[in-house]
Chains A and B, each alone.
Chain A
């Protein structure tokens, strides 16, 4: 009888000890997927080891806007990925904490959970959103931090240990948990309320010029933009694939080729989404085009031939698809209908 009582005490003790840890769970926060996406494309990619939670997203948002991630406390992720610019910036390439400019244009951040092959960045070198978040923090020409130092700073912070406890059930901060939180926040950055989205849903009309621009976008004998940049049934407005779009005859930046080591990939860069072009100038991987007009001129007359130019590029010997001035204006008008003011003004996405 005494033995039985002892066992009961031990069991109760164990239960009471583990109760604190086991009782709490972060609140699940599945992505709220807009109809324009749920009815047209397959579900987004959410890693099984990093489910979306209220606490994780909130932590990720705080980290995203916090200069604590940079070596000298002057820059955050948002310094180069500003909400008002659809989470890019307005310079050809971004300047890091040491005043050194990089070589690539900051990519906008939205709808990244729908990048099904999970190759991120212009050259596809980052194989998940979590891993992508590691790189800028330690890049010497970006935030130029040491991750160990970042973790130490976060651990010593008055709020972060508790926020990590809430998000991940541990107050022991790691690089992996930090990037998981940032990735959770980034996955909530969904843009699906452009004028064109509203048109698709029967809630808005396009002008004759915008409709004509759509026609040019979709015609294989005109713009032929749709083979790489989506269409009304693929409202991501990108195929998330890598192409050499004829920017250069010789390459100073190998792009995907530098990542894969395959010369056939030289000069290939990820097709960016055409959403939110109104806010994301300048354009291309190196920000060489200041305006949309310059971009359209490039595809119309400016193509440069090279061994890896994509076979989808047409009339290369003439420099491109030879649009008239009116066709260019119409195409631009259509492209601007893909911009989503509610996205850049969404209070959930502001600091």
Chain B
């Protein structure tokens, strides 16, 4: 009788041990990765402490002081090995000026595993841009209705030394490109865009650095001349499309840190 019990115990222990192994490596474990947002100027780190100083030079040779920098990212997605795309309907306002939103932990969970691509939207896609976001309203991030409504994608304000060697303000504000501002605006093309970060393994505690090279807004593929495009750019669809094109190379994947249990 005792022998039979011992045998049953062994079988049971093996069964539980096997099940435990499966759960540790399987896809049922969930995690909420954290995204951190860092900023640099062609490799030199930039933070709010560097603002209000004429210490940056853009590709066109203009000396710049940054005063305000904030932008919204949204709809973080994860593509699995099997091609399934896990979408999140989220947004985060990164406010570099006030050091808010620089770290964002996904409010929902995704299965732990290797993903072939992680991506996000710079700005808000047109569907999201038509929503009423109380946090973005409270941050005064709106775009007036006659310009299509919705929200800024980025608000990047500062001063530059213009061709007359005078300090002059600039407002690099990206929105959904719009023509015919007024009661019936038209939209020449979408100006939000997807940023693909590539393959990232997600473990129980993954931190993903998203880097913004601020200098890229001014140089690639369009050499940005602040003497030409400085203020009142929101109703200027040509400027908006140039921003959209330059934005494609602004973001990149930084360090991915994993904390295994």
Contact = CB atoms under 8 A, between A and B. Distances in A.
B151 to A, nearest CB: 9
Nearest to B139: A239
Given A220-B234, A220-B235, A41 B138 contact: yes
Interface in A252-284: 264
A346 to B, nearest CB: 24
B67 A42 contact: no
A227 interface: yes
A312 B171 contact: yes
Nearest to B134: A42
Give the interface centre of B137, B170, B181, B232 by most chain A CB atoms within 10 Å. B137
A41 B169 contact: no
A219 B181 contact: yes
Given A40-B137, A219-B181, A221-B232, A313 B169 contact: yes
Contacts of A114: 138
Contacts of A227: 140
A38 to B, nearest CB: 9
Interface residues on B, range: 20 to 34
A13 B261 CA distance: 54
Contact of B146 (A219, A241, A312): A219
Contacts of A116: 138
Contact of A314 (B134, B139, B169): B169
Interface string A140-167: 0000000000000000000000000000
Interface string A294-310: 00000000000001111
Interface in A211-233: 215, 218-221, 224, 226-228, 230-233
A139 interface: no
A311 B142 contact: no
A39 interface: yes
Contact of A312 (B51, B52, B157, B235): B157
Contacts of B137: 40-41, 233-234
Given A40-B132, A226-B144, A311 B171 contact: yes
A307 B98 CA distance: 21
Contacts of B144: 218-219, 226, 231
Contacts of A311: 67-68, 157-159, 169-171
Interface string A183-196: 00000000000000
A208 to B, nearest CB: 13
Interface residues of A, number: 35
A234 B134 CA distance: 9
A290 interface: no
B215 to A, nearest CB: 18
A234 B138 contact: yes
Nearest to B170: A311
B184 to A, nearest CB: 14
A117 B132 CA distance: 22
A197 to B, nearest CB: 15
Interface of A: 39-42, 114, 116-117, 215, 218-221, 224, 226-228, 230-234, 236, 239, 241, 264, 307-314, 316-317
Given A311-B158, A311-B169, 9 more contacts: A41-B134, A42-B134, A219-B146, A227-B140, A232-B145, A309-B169, A310-B169, A312-B169, A317-B166
15 contacts: A42-B134, A219-B235, A220-B231, A220-B233, A228-B140, A230-B140, A231-B144, A233-B142, A239-B140, A264-B51, A310-B67, A311-B67, A311-B158, A316-B168, A317-B166
